[in-house]
């Protein structure tokens, strides 16, 4: 088995590793396999690789990236060849309609339909839940395959003799087990965890998994399985994983409290000591990183840390942004050398998402005016509510600023959205359904009224949108 896991301090280190990975000899008709966390990470990495691979020179950055199969963590099952996406009877799309048939034909589940607001909504919600169980609780699903209504076993639920001390489902949750059993009988094929456990076949020659904060227990099991598969030449698949762990001091502190090895079982969760060295806010931010470090240790995996060489100038931050980055990475909080007029970090407070989009647009125009070397492709907009913010951003950034000597329109590409947001028709349908079932908030109303399909159908121009905005405010 060839599985290696490494910690990197930031995503920048992924570029060098990806270049080295793509430089390995490979069959001309075989695509390189790279697994990334999001669509945005894929776009960024492809752009960075194009600057390094096949470019005329380092300054032109005119290269291309081809023959690379970029995928996401959920596609690990496809890499081990357990089932093709379009043929999977357990896919969320097919599972939704199977659950829908069960709900409609079984009066016992009418309460689920009433709770969700309709049979289709209930079926989709339950199918999503079962899909998450397949991915995050494979041990529980394997027990359900044996008709045992139990929870997922953990390390603390294993007896001294090595047997499982199974914890039964609460009576209020038994309906999930019973409904899953009906879906399993209707599909009449092993569930994804059972299928992946017994898979045998050819695997790729190498896979690079990069940019993730951590790995779930099921992902670790899939990567172990992938590393045991052989390619067409009979060689084992070389799996290399790069996990982002920005704080080396916290990593070393957490190594002092690693759990015992419990192969096959996830460990009990540990509380993070907020009194550890460094900023307590940073410690809470990295909770997912800490849980991943404990999980890897419980499975007998010890990642190596790729240290970044720093010069003396980098050790003394000159901007507030550099100081914040040093606080996260080294646990050192110092603003002694930061100028009082520093603008590397600016904070605006806005009353709603629409105003945030307006302020962001104005701030970008200000930055482009005062930084001549700044280009639109250098700007990244990050939001925890990107699906809700997207219509506001599109409405604001679609406006053209015209004047005597200028005609400005900032380009905008929104990534990291699901298929419902990518498809214009599906996006409008979701917004309408949300509006019907809500209290008709301003944001929900604008999501429908300012949608470009609605605007095109009713010939609504920018002046009308501005009048609506003024009336609302």
pTM exceeding 0.75? no
* Beta strands in 273-312, from DSSP E residues, in sequence order: 304-305
CA diameter of the chain: 83
Minimum mean pLDDT range among 73-87, 163-177, 185-199, 299-313:
73-87
* Residue labelled with tokens 């199974």: 166
Q: What is the mean predicted confidence (pLDDT) over 123-148? A: 86
Residue 266 has pLDDT above 50, yes or no: yes
Exposure string of 414-430, with b = 16+ CB inside 10 Å and e = fewer, is bebeeeebeeeeebbeb
When comparing pLDDT for 212 and 267, which is higher? 212
Q: What is the mean predicted confidence (pLDDT) over 358-381? A: 87
Q: What is the mean predicted confidence (pLDDT) over 25-43? A: 82
- Quick one: which of 324, 77, 41, 347 has its CA closest to 207? 77
| In the chain, % of residues over pLDDT 90 | 10
- Band of residue 38 on the pLDDT scale cut at 50, 70, 90: confident
């Amino acid at each position: 088995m060839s599985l290696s896991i490494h910690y990197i301090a930031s995503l920048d280190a992924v570029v060098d590793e990806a270049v080295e990975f793509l430089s390995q000899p490979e069959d001309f008709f075989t695509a390189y396999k790279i697994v990334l966390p999001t669509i945005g990470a894929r776009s960024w990495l492809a752009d960075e690789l194009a600057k390094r691979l096949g470019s005329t020179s380092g300054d032109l950055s005119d290269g291309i990236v081809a023959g690379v199969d970029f995928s996401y963590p959920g596609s690990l099952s496809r890499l081990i060849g357990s089932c093709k996406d379009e043929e999977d009877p357990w896919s969320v799309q097919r599972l939704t309609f199977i659950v829908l048939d069960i709900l409609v034909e079984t009066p016992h589940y009418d309460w689920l339909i009433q709770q969700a607001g309709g049979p289709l909504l209930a079926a989709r919600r339950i199918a999503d839940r079962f899909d998450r169980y397949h991915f995050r609780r494979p041990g529980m699903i394997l027990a359900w395959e044996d008709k045992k209504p139990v929870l997922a076993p953990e390390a603390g639920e294993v007896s001294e003799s090595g047997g499982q001390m199974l914890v039964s489902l609460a009576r209020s949750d038994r309906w999930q087990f019973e409904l899953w059993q009906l879906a399993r009988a209707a599909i009449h094929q092993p569930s994804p965890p059972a299928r992946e456990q017994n898979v045998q076949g050819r695997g790729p020659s190498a896979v690079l998994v990069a940019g993730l904060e951590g790995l779930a227990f099921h992902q670790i099991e899939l990567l172990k399985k992938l590393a045991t598969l052989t390619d067409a030449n009979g060689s084992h698949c070389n799996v290399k994983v790069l996990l982002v762990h920005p704080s080396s001091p916290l990593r070393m502190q957490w190594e002092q409290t690693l759990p015992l090895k419990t192969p096959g079982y996830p460990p009990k969760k540990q509380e993070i000591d907020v009194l550890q060295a460094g900023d307590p806010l940073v410690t809470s931010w990295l909770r997912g990183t800490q849980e991943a470090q404990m999980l890897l240790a419980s499975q007998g995996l010890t990642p190596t840390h790729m240290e970044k060489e720093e010069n003396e100038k980098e050790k003394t931050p000159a901007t507030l942004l550099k100081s914040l980055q040093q606080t996260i990475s080294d646990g050192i909080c110092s603003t002694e050398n930061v100028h009082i007029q520093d603008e590397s970090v600016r904070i605006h407070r806005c009353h709603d998402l629409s105003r945030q989009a307006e302020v962001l647009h104005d701030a970008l125009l200000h930055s482009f005016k005062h930084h001549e070397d700044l280009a639109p492709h250098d700007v990244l907009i990050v939001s925890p509510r990107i699906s809700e913010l997207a219509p506001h951003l599109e409405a604001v950034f679609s406006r053209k600023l015209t004047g005597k000597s200028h005609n400005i329109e900032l380009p905008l590409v929104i990534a990291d959205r699901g298929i419902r947001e990518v498809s214009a028709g599906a996006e409008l349908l979701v917004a309408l359904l949300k509006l019907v079932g809500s209290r008709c908030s301003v944001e929900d109303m604008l999501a429908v009224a300012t949608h470009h399909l609605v605007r095109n159908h009713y010939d609504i121009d920018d002046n009308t949108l501005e009048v609506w905005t003024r009336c609302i405010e």
